[in-house]
Every structure is written in structure tokens, then in C-alpha cells.
Amino acid sequence: MEKLITNFNYVIVVILMMIGLWAMLAQKNLIKKCIGMPIFQTGIILFFISIGAKNKAKVPILSKFVVENSSAIIVNDYANPLTQILMLTAIVVGVATLGVGLALAQKIYQQHSSFDEDEILENQRK
């Protein structure tokens, strides 16, 4: 129970991933599926960012003062940059893949004039 409070971020991560996965599997509407995909994705991004966050740390940008006086850099003053760059690219790639999903949905709508999975399947059987 105590872990539930200190590791609160992971709980949110898991719940976000569950919501996204549920939306992608259970929602019949293609647009809703396309919205569920980024929710799942932000769950994973939140996992990475929150695992790299440090208590009482600043943003990972060296200040002019530290650099010019060549004073020792204290590692724990800066948040983890590595997890951040892994996720930074993932966001832009995510919006590009969202575009691919929407393009597919739009093409399917042109064929079947519906976003609904059941109707599309019915149309195909005819």
C-alpha cells in the first residue's frame, strides 16, 4: 500500500495503457481506435519520462554559470536526458503514424461509407 503512493506514476501508466488498449480493441469506431492509439502511446512515454525524473532536479540544460566557471557538474542536479530524447522522437513519429491510421480510415470510409467495424464487415460479405 505504501508502494502505491511512492510509485503512483506507474499506476497511472498502467491505467493509461489499459484505457488505450481497451479503446483499440473494444471500440468499433475507427476514429475512436485512432484516438486510443495515442493514449496507449502516451502511457509508454509517461513511463519513460517519469522513470527519468529526479527529485529536486532541474531541466537538463547546463547553465552559462556552470559552464563558464568550469565548476564541477553535479549529476543529480539535472533530470535524466536519455529517456527524454528517446521519447521526443517518439512523439513526432507518433503523429506521423496517427496520420497513416487516419488515411487508412478515410480510404475505408470511401469504400464502405462507414467507420463502424460491423457495418464494414457486413458490406464485405455482400
Partner 1 sequence: MNTFITAAGVALIGLMLLVLIRAIKGPTVIDRLVAINVIGTKSIVLLLFAGILFGQLEMFVDIALGYGLLNYIVSIAASRYYQHRKSLEPEHSPGGSPVS
Partner 2 sequence: MSALPIWQFDVLLLMLVLLFAVVALSIRNLMGAAVVFGAYSFMMCLIWAGMGAVDVAFTEAAVGAGVSTVFVVSTLYNTGATMQRRTGGLAFKLFIGVVVTVAGAFLLSALPDFPKWGAPDSPVNATVAPYYILNTFEDAHVHNIVTSVLADYRGFDTLLETTVVFIACIAIYSIMRVDNAKLETDEPAIVAAPRYDPSDSLIVRQASRFMVPFMQLFALYVIAHGHYSPGGGFQGGVILGASLILLAISFDLKFLLRQWSEKTLMLLVAAGVFLYAAVGLACVFMGGNYLDYGFLDSVLPGERDMARSHGILLVEIGVGITVMFSMIAIHINLASNGRFDRGL
Q: For binding to partner 1 (CB under 8 A), which residues are involved?
A: 29, 58-59, 61, 109, 113-116, 119
Q: How far apart are the C-alpha atoms of 9 and 51, rounded to whole Å? A: 9
Nearer to partner 1, 3 or 110 (CB): 110
78-97 residues labelled b (16+ CB within 10 A) or e (exposed): bbbeebbeebeeeeeebeee
Q: How far apart are the C-alpha atoms of 20 and 56, rounded to whole Å? A: 31
Provide the 3-class DSSP secondary structure of residue 109.
helix
Site for partner 2 in 15-34 (CB under 8 A): 15-23, 25-29, 31-32, 34
Nearer to partner 2, 83 or 123 (CB): 83
Interface with partner 2: number of residues (CB under 8 A): 92
Spatial neighbors of 45 by CB under 8 A, at least 6 apart, are 87, 90, 91
The partner in contact with residue 126, picked from partner 1, partner 2, none with C-beta cut-offs of 5 to 8 angstroms by kind, is: none
- Of positions 69, 71, 75, 124, contacts partner 2 by CB under 8 A: 75
38-54 residues labelled b (16+ CB within 10 A) or e (exposed): bbbbbbbbbbbbeebee
Q: Assess 4 for contact with partner 2 (CB under 8 A).
A: yes
Nearer to partner 1, 1 or 63 (CB): 63
Site for partner 2 in 91-120 (CB under 8 A): 91-100, 102-107, 109-110, 113-116, 118-119
